[in-house]
């Protein structure tokens, strides 16, 4: 894993006794700003840690040239002092986190997991040649959507498209291939052996990670629960921040020491 960057830092300390340590993991060609709204809405008892992963906007393509990218999930977990109670992972990172944690010793696992807009299939026969073509063809589109939903400014469509092309080229074909390989491996991940509470969050209008993937995954997990958010695409934490934060807080209240109550803003 040499030659690539990983930074894990405390974004917001908890207030009160018995904090719940939450580690957030962003998707491909994204950054920790993905979780900005959740950071604002997280309840006082939540101690937030964020990982800036090698496949982020500030990174290059070296991470994709060798090795298993799922190893970066373990590396990020190892940098949270005392260990993470909850891992919250989006998109590409959700695929990798599921794969890594399913094979990790129980002592290395968090107490709960949140998978946001995961790519997951239950049967290898569900992949076809046109499936690969679809995801290759829509890769730039998901980058354009990320730019639109993450910005407070309105940009001309041409500007968004040009920015997305720059990001796409920075990720490169090897980066896209690492995503595709991870997705192809998903039917072989032993999710039934992952015996911990898992919240699967999906947007009902996600054109990239099909909501049907999330439904099947939540059903296969021993302690899985599904939160399908209305009027939402691939970025629930940004598009519907209030309902997203509420779903995470319900998981914490049900399975971990409940953070101090505080209302969330409407999403």
Model confidence at 93, pLDDT cuts 50, 70, 90, reads very high
Domain assignment of residue 219, yes or no: yes
Q: pLDDT, tens digit, for every residue of 139-154? A: 988 888 888 877 666 7
Domain assignment of residue 114, yes or no: yes
Q: pLDDT, tens digit, for every residue of 25-76? A: 999 999 999 999 999 999 999 999 999 999 998 777 899 998 899 999 999 9
For residues 210-237, average pLDDT: 97
pLDDT of the residue at 151: 64
- Quick check: 111 and 256 in contact, CB under 8 A? yes
For residues 151-159, average pLDDT: 73
Distance between CA atoms of 24 and 22, rounded to whole angstroms? Answer: 7
Domain assignment of residue 1, yes or no: no
Distance between CA atoms of 228 and 21, rounded to whole angstroms? Answer: 25
- What is the CB-side half-sphere exposure of residue 185 using CA atoms within 13 A? 19
Helices of type H across the chain? 36-41, 71-77, 92-103, 129-150, 157-185, 211-220, 236-239, 241-255
The CATH number that applies at residue 244 is 3.40.50.1820
Q: How many domains does the chain have?
A: 1
- CA 137 from chain centre, in angstroms, equals 21
With tokens 């500030």, the residue in question is 58
Give the residue from 263, 212, 207, 198 showing the smallest Cα distance to 239.
Answer: 207
pLDDT at 11 over 60: yes
Of 131-140, 156-165, 192-201, minimum mean pLDDT range: 156-165
For residues 87-110, average pLDDT: 96
Phi, psi of 247 (to 5 degrees): -65, -40
How big is the CA angle at 102 (ends 101 and 105), to the nearest 5 degrees?
70
For residues 169-190, average pLDDT: 95
Share of the chain above pLDDT 90, in %: 75
pLDDT at 170 over 70: yes
Q: Is 227 helix (H, G, I), strand (E, B) or coil?
A: strand
Share of the chain above pLDDT 70, in %: 93
pLDDT at 5 over 80: yes
Domain assignment of residue 261, yes or no: no
Model confidence at 168, pLDDT cuts 50, 70, 90, reads confident
Q: Is 138 helix (H, G, I), strand (E, B) or coil?
A: helix
Domain assignment of residue 260, yes or no: no
Q: Is 110 helix (H, G, I), strand (E, B) or coil?
A: coil
Q: pTM of the full predicted structure?
A: 0.92
For residues 234-254, average pLDDT: 96
Tokens of 181: 């390989």
pLDDT of the residue at 195: 93
pLDDT at 266 over 50: no
pLDDT of the residue at 1: 52
For residues 212-234, average pLDDT: 97
Domain assignment of residue 195, yes or no: yes
- Quick check: 252 and 112 in contact, CB under 8 A? yes
Angle 129-150/157-185 helices, nearest 10 degrees?
130
- Quick check: 267 and 244 in contact, CB under 8 A? yes
pLDDT of the residue at 42: 96
For residues 151-172, average pLDDT: 80
Domain assignment of residue 186, yes or no: yes
Domain holding 40, by residue range, is 7-255
Q: How far is CA 164 from CA 8, 98, 126, 135, 147, in A?
A: 26, 27, 29, 15, 8
**pLDDT top residue among 95 and 259:** 95
Phi, psi of 195 (to 5 degrees): -90, 75
Strand (E) or helix (H) holding 50: strand 46-52
243 Cβ partners below 8 Å, 6+ apart? 227, 229, 236, 267
Domain assignment of residue 264, yes or no: no
With tokens 């006082």, the residue in question is 44
Of 105-114, 126-135, 137-146, 196-205, minimum mean pLDDT range: 137-146
């Amino acid at each position: 894993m040499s030659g690539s960057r990983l930074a894990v830092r405390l974004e917001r300390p908890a207030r009160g006794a018995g904090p719940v340590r939450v580690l957030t993991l962003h998707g491909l060609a994204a950054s920790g700003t993905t979780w900005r709204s959740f950071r604002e809405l997280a309840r006082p008892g939540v101690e937030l840690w964020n990982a800036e992963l090698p496949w982020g906007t500030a990174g290059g393509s070296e991470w994709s040239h060798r090795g298993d990218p799922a190893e970066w999930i373990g590396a990020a977990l190892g940098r949270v002092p005392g260990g993470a109670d909850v891992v919250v992972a989006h998109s590409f990172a959700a695929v990798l986190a599921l794969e890594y944690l399913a094979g990790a010793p129980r002592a290395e696992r968090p107490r709960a997991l949140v998978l946001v807009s995961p790519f997951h299939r239950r049967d290898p026969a569900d992949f076809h040649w046109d499936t690969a073509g679809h995801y290759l063809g829509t890769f730039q589109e998901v980058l354009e959507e990320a730019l639109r939903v993450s910005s407070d400014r309105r940009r001309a469509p041409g500007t968004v498209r040009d920015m997305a092309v720059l990001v796409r080229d920075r990720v490169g074909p090897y980066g896209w291939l690492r995503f595709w390989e991870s997705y192809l491996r998903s039917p072989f991940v032993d999710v039934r052996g992952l015996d911990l509470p898992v919240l699967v969050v999906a947007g009902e209008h996600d054109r990239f990670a099909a909501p049907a993937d999330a439904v099947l995954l939540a059903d296969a997990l021993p302690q899985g629960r599904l939160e399908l958010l209305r009027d939402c695409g691939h970025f629930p934490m940004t598009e519907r921040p209030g309902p997203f934060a509420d779903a995470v807080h319900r998981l914490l209240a049900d399975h971990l020491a409940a953070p101090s109550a505080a209302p969330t803003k409407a999403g």
